[in-house]
Amino acid sequence: CFTTLALCSSLFSGFLHASECDPGERVVKFSHVTGGTTHPKVILINEFAANVNREMNGRLCVEVYPNSTLFGDSKELEALLLGDVQLLAPSIAKFGAFTDKYAVFDLPFLFKDLDQIIRFTKTPEAKDLLHVMEDSAGFVGLGYWMSGMKYFTANKPLLVPSDAKGLKIRVQSSTIAKEMIRAMGASPQVIAFSEVYGALQTGVVDGQENTWSNIYTQKFYEVQDSVTETNHQVLAYLFVTSADFLNSLSDEDRTQFLDLVDRATQSANKLVKEKDAVNRENILRAGGKINTLTPEQRAEWVNTMAPIWKEFEGSIGKDLIETAAGA
Ligand code: LMR
């Protein structure tokens, strides 16, 4: 079935129906919340699915469900626990209920750029973190993928943090993100990704923070005044499965599957900067506005968020923060 799958995945951003898997193939559901055709996560997941479906044809058949069509933010981790889905790649900020350690990926202004975080993901400390939820939840991290650096958008220009005073800002379910918004004098609102466009459009929230790729593919620029190039955090993904799924594969299939997984992560790290930059250009071409910061304005953002590090140092661990900062 692999030709049809590859064709479908390029035409419809990877939305595949169960009927397209051959009888006897083990169906592997991969659910995610992003969409469009230019998002690095969409491109990568579709490529990964096409590779598995070609190279493990007759044994495994990956079905991709983008755009929260199978499970959205609030349900996908529960679905992985229940075995209703086998593969996910959520933002690492969404695992706060399972471990404190991943907050290291979320500390504002810790990672200067994507190169630094990619170097961090190759350290033994970051590799150990792939297994930090294995005993407690049965989740097995397969690799770290990046979406890009994050930027604030709002219905007015945000040049310094105090410009957000009194605004309602959408965040992912992350304690650090909530603290960041409070430090700006604004009110954090946790909203599922699939509902953010509508919430911005109807004024339920005034702003949000995200990567070029999400701002472009979700069209947030249409319902916001502008994007401010704050570069305040990274949006990193955890490519994740369950121990139950991995253990259910034969030794031979597991080895081949994990090899395909590693190839996808290597490809993710190589492609992301270029793909993210394309989406920055796409925003401008579509009429979106981008505010750049003077060094003084940038210093205000850094100073406003600096106290957050101290607050999370105990639960993350000082050594881990130092490894990330020095990567
Ligand atoms: C968000 O919720 O803003 C992002 O995590 C969505 C994504 O998966 O990129």
Q: What pairing do the DSSP bridges indicate for beta strands 187-190 and 60-65?
A: unpaired
Question: What 3-state DSSP class applies to 149?
Answer: strand
pLDDT digits (tens, 9 = 90+) for 219-247: 999 999 999 999 999 999 999 999 999 99
Nearest CA to ligand 1 atom 1: 193
pLDDT bin (cut points 50, 70, 90) of residue 74 is: confident
Whether ligand 1 lies within 6 angstroms of the CB of 33 is answered as yes
Whether ligand 1 lies within 6 angstroms of the CB of 88 is answered as no
Q: How far is CA 220 from CA 27, 116, 225, 326, in A?
A: 34, 27, 10, 34
Instruction: Name the nearest CA neighbour of 121 among 148, 144, 93, 142.
Output: 144
Nearest atom in ligand 1 to the alpha carbon of residue 211 is 9
What is the 176 CA–ligand 1 centroid distance (Å)? 15
The share of the chain scoring above pLDDT 90, in percent, equals: 92
Question: What 3-state DSSP class applies to 64?
Answer: strand
Least confident among 18-22, 81-85, 249-253, 264-268: 18-22
Range 279-301 average pLDDT? 97
Q: What's residue 19's pLDDT? A: 52
Question: Which pair of tokens denotes residue 220?
Answer: 């947030």
Q: Render 79-147 in DSSP notation, one character per residue.
A: HHHHTS-SEE--BGGGGTTT-SGGGGGG-TTS-SSHHHHHHHHTSHHHHHHTTTTHHHH-EEEEEEEEE
What is the 22 CA–ligand 1 centroid distance (Å)? 32
pLDDT higher than 60, residue 8? no
- Residue to mutate, 45, 68, 87, 147, ligand 1, most ligand atoms under 8 Å from C-beta: 147
pLDDT bin (cut points 50, 70, 90) of residue 13 is: very low
pLDDT digits (tens, 9 = 90+) for 100-116: 999 999 999 999 999 99
Q: What's residue 20's pLDDT? A: 79
pLDDT higher than 50, residue 41? yes
pLDDT higher than 90, residue 16? no
Whether ligand 1 lies within 6 angstroms of the CB of 147 is answered as yes
Nearest atom in ligand 1 to the alpha carbon of residue 193 is 2
What is the 261 CA–ligand 1 centroid distance (Å)? 21
> Which residues on adjacent β-strands are paired with residue 113?
none
Range 68-91 average pLDDT? 95
pLDDT digits (tens, 9 = 90+) for 55-69: 999 999 999 999 999
Nearest CA to ligand 1 atom 4: 91
Q: What phi, psi does 14 have (nearest 5°)?
A: 90, 10
Range 178-196 average pLDDT? 97
Whether ligand 1 lies within 6 angstroms of the CB of 91 is answered as yes
pLDDT higher than 70, residue 312? yes
pLDDT higher than 60, residue 192? yes
What is the 199 CA–ligand 1 centroid distance (Å)? 15
